[in-house]
Structure 1
Amino acid sequence: MRRTPLTLLPVATLSLAIALMAGRSDDVDAATPPQAGVIAQASVTAPGSRVEAEQALDATVAAALIGAVAGQFDEKDVEVRLIDVDVEDASLRDRQLIGRGELRLGDSDEWIAFGFEALYDTVESVVSYPRLTVGEGATADPVSLDASIARTLGDRAETALTNEFSQQPVSLTLEDVRSIDAGGRYLRVEASGTADFGREGNAAAQVHGLFDQQKDRWVRVSYELGEAPAPWAANRVASR
């Protein structure tokens, strides 16, 4: 499988400050101009050579990827900068993006490391909802299921499940919760459990959260149905 690095513009150019409300956008259109509140710059001149054309494409993909990452956080201001991105051929149409970056949330001065994986559709010019690993290299500590942070994480994830599967009953039970330091202010919380769909059966569930300890609030809660995936992007990039 071919793997090539994405040609990144300088960090200052790739940084994105985006004002957004809570909500999930499954795809970010790389061909769509930035919305109000987005500060980004991909290319200011028409490409005059093959290299410049590739860099312009890379900048477009990077801008869409940054927007997709920023859209996962329930925070007014999210700033994202990419460190490195590898591109793999996933199919004739799709490219898999694997890399690392840093993000800064709201009024925090703290940059948080993250790894990611996403798919880029070369026909539609969209980047899929990225799988994120926030924080690097820290030890996961067990969290009691009765702890407030475990209960509120479960409640938030169950609400998201209920909204997605509104036509059928669904409940979520967390069975294992662990916390990982993601800088001095934020706590990454990972959980596994079972989603009960009544007569439709059960499914394994993985829940991922980022908790702002200073403001005592969740800034990110997401979930996946199915068994835990293979090691995420942070580990894959670190092992190169």
Structure 2
Amino acid sequence: MHAPASTTSRHTAARARALLLAACLGAVPVLAQSAPVATPPGTPATSEPRQGAATSGDETMDNAVAAVVVAALSEQLNTATIAVNIDSFDVAIASVRDRTVSGTGRLRVGDDAEWIGFRYSVPYDTSFSSAGYPRLTIGGVAASEREVPNDAGLVQQLEDRVAVELDRQFGADSSRLQLDDISTVQGGARLLRISAAGIADFGRNGNTPVRIEALYDQVANAWQRVNYELGVAAR
């Protein structure tokens, strides 16, 4: 007995997307300090059985978005291997030809048994069927990922790291940070996402608002990502 056409189409789309994710991971450029990225395994045994692959209803859009999300996660996490599962595609109209695709997913680092939740938001151009660079929030997504007490030592490391980068960026030698809004969220047992806001003080050159978001790998004892914004954008 033949399966209905709609069911066959969904299965074909699911297989195609799985192949795309695997191919994407294999093609992602690797950071200088990173080991090669391996092809992700299939659906994790620890997750609930899924009736079908997540979809927005537009397979071309889904594939383009999945490709940039996997590539960005691989770039931002300095790991030997990473497996990615995208759980939802939500589409909003930004203009006549532009869409904003957002949703949630899970990633697994190396041989870890635990999956870490993430959120993403991707600009998509319908005219060229192309997806832009995603905005990613890693950790604090799954029910088990919660806010935890700040680690004073890590906060100090983060302040020093950003101050050094500001000195390098602006040719100064006395940048200081005054952070007064700091939160730490778990990304599974491995990652900590530290968000902070405050003032970047450049001494006689004045000061400006600063906002920082960083990822710290507790297994590797290393910062995986440290991003900061200055000025009005940081408010």
TM-score scaled by length of structure 2: 0.65
Segments of structure 1 that go 5 or more residues without pairing to the other structure are 1-6, 24-35, 41-52, 230-240
Classify the secondary structure of the residue corresponding to 1:9.
Answer: helix
Q: What is the 5 A alignment of 1:86-235?
A: 86-122=90-126, 125-136=130-141, 137=143, 138-143=145-150, 147-161=152-166, 166-169=169-172, 171-173=175-177, 174-196=179-201, 201-225=206-230, 226=232
When Rg is computed on C-alpha atoms for both structures, the one with the higher figure is 2
Q: TM-score, normalised by structure 1?
A: 0.64
Contact 1:209 1:221 in 2 (8 A): yes
The CA deviation at 1:168 is 4.9
RMSD (CA atoms): 3.5
Give the match for residue 73 of structure 2: 69
User: Hey, which of these two has a bigger chunk of strand by percent?
Assistant: 1
Alignment map for 1:43-62 (pairs within 5 Å) = 54-62=58-66
The number of residues matched between the two structures is 195
What does the per-residue CA deviation read over 1:148-184, in whole Å, with 9 as the maximum and x for residues that have no partner?
Answer: 2111222333455556xx3554835133322222222
Q: Is the 8 A contact 1:82 1:102 kept in 2?
A: yes
Q: Which amino acid aligns with 1:110?
A: E
Q: CA deviation at 1:117?
A: 2.0
Q: Matches of 1:131 and 1:101 in 2, distance apart?
A: 10
Identity, in percent, stands at 33
Structure 2 unmatched ranges of 5 or more: 1-9, 41-56
Greater fraction of residues in helix = 2
